[in-house]
Protein backbone atom coordinates (compact mmCIF):
# COMPACT_ATOMS: atom_id res chain seq x y z
CA UNK A 1 0.00 0.00 0.00
CA UNK A 2 2.85 2.39 0.84
CA UNK A 3 4.50 1.67 -2.50
CA UNK A 4 1.26 2.51 -4.34
CA UNK A 5 0.96 5.84 -2.53
CA UNK A 6 4.62 6.60 -3.28
CA UNK A 7 4.19 5.75 -6.97
CA UNK A 8 1.05 7.92 -7.21
CA UNK A 9 2.80 10.82 -5.45
CA UNK A 10 5.80 10.52 -7.77
CA UNK A 11 3.50 10.45 -10.81
CA UNK A 12 1.68 13.59 -9.66
CA UNK A 13 4.98 15.33 -8.98
CA UNK A 14 6.29 14.55 -12.47
CA UNK A 15 3.00 15.63 -14.06
CA UNK A 16 3.20 18.94 -12.17
CA UNK A 17 6.75 19.55 -13.35
CA UNK A 18 5.73 18.90 -16.95
CA UNK A 19 2.77 21.26 -16.58
CA UNK A 20 4.83 24.15 -15.26
CA UNK A 21 7.38 23.69 -18.03
CA UNK A 22 4.66 23.90 -20.69
CA UNK A 23 3.13 27.02 -19.15
CA UNK A 24 6.42 28.94 -19.61
CA UNK A 25 5.99 30.40 -16.11
CA UNK A 26 9.62 29.73 -15.31
CA UNK A 27 10.78 31.72 -18.38
CA UNK A 28 9.94 34.99 -16.60
CA UNK A 29 12.86 36.43 -14.68
CA UNK A 30 10.65 37.79 -11.89
CA UNK A 31 7.06 38.43 -10.94
CA UNK A 32 7.65 42.07 -9.99
CA UNK A 33 9.95 44.30 -12.05
CA UNK A 34 11.32 46.30 -9.09
CA UNK A 35 10.77 46.79 -5.37
CA UNK A 36 8.65 49.85 -6.25
CA UNK A 37 6.41 47.63 -8.35
CA UNK A 38 6.09 45.18 -5.47
CA UNK A 39 5.13 47.96 -3.05
CA UNK A 40 2.58 49.39 -5.47
CA UNK A 41 1.04 45.99 -6.12
CA UNK A 42 0.72 45.20 -2.41
CA UNK A 43 -0.56 48.47 -0.99
CA UNK A 44 0.08 51.44 -3.31
CA UNK A 45 -2.76 50.67 -5.73
CA UNK A 46 -5.25 52.01 -3.17
CA UNK A 47 -3.98 55.60 -3.51
CA UNK A 48 -2.53 56.00 -7.00
CA UNK A 49 -0.47 59.14 -7.52
CA UNK A 50 0.77 60.74 -10.72
CA UNK A 51 4.30 59.85 -9.60
CA UNK A 52 3.39 56.15 -9.31
CA UNK A 53 1.72 56.18 -12.72
CA UNK A 54 4.78 57.81 -14.29
CA UNK A 55 7.13 55.33 -12.59
CA UNK A 56 5.05 52.37 -13.76
CA UNK A 57 5.24 53.67 -17.31
CA UNK A 58 8.99 54.32 -17.19
CA UNK A 59 9.84 50.95 -15.63
CA UNK A 60 7.33 49.05 -17.82
CA UNK A 61 5.69 47.25 -14.88
CA UNK A 62 2.73 46.08 -16.90
CA UNK A 63 4.47 44.70 -19.96
CA UNK A 64 3.62 45.59 -23.54
CA UNK A 65 0.53 47.69 -24.18
CA UNK A 66 -1.68 46.72 -27.08
CA UNK A 67 -4.17 49.06 -28.74
CA UNK A 68 -7.77 47.94 -28.53
CA UNK A 69 -9.91 47.97 -31.65
Q: Residue 17 pLDDT more than 90? A: no
Angle made by CA atoms 41, 51, 56, in degrees to the nearest 5: 45
State the pTM of this model: 0.41
DSSP secondary structure of 13-52:
HHHHHHHHHHHTGGGSS-SSSSHHHHHHHHTGGGS--HHH
Q: Residue 13 pLDDT more than 90? A: no
Give tens-digit pLDDT for 22-69. 656 556 666 777 788 888 888 887 888 888 888 888 887 776 666 665
Give the domain ranges of the chain: 2-59
The Cα–Cα gap between 36 and 16 comes to: 32
> Three-class SS of residue 31?
coil
Confidence (pLDDT) at 64: 64
Amino acid sequence: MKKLVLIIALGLFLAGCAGIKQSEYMDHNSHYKTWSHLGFSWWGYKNVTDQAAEKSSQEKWWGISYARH
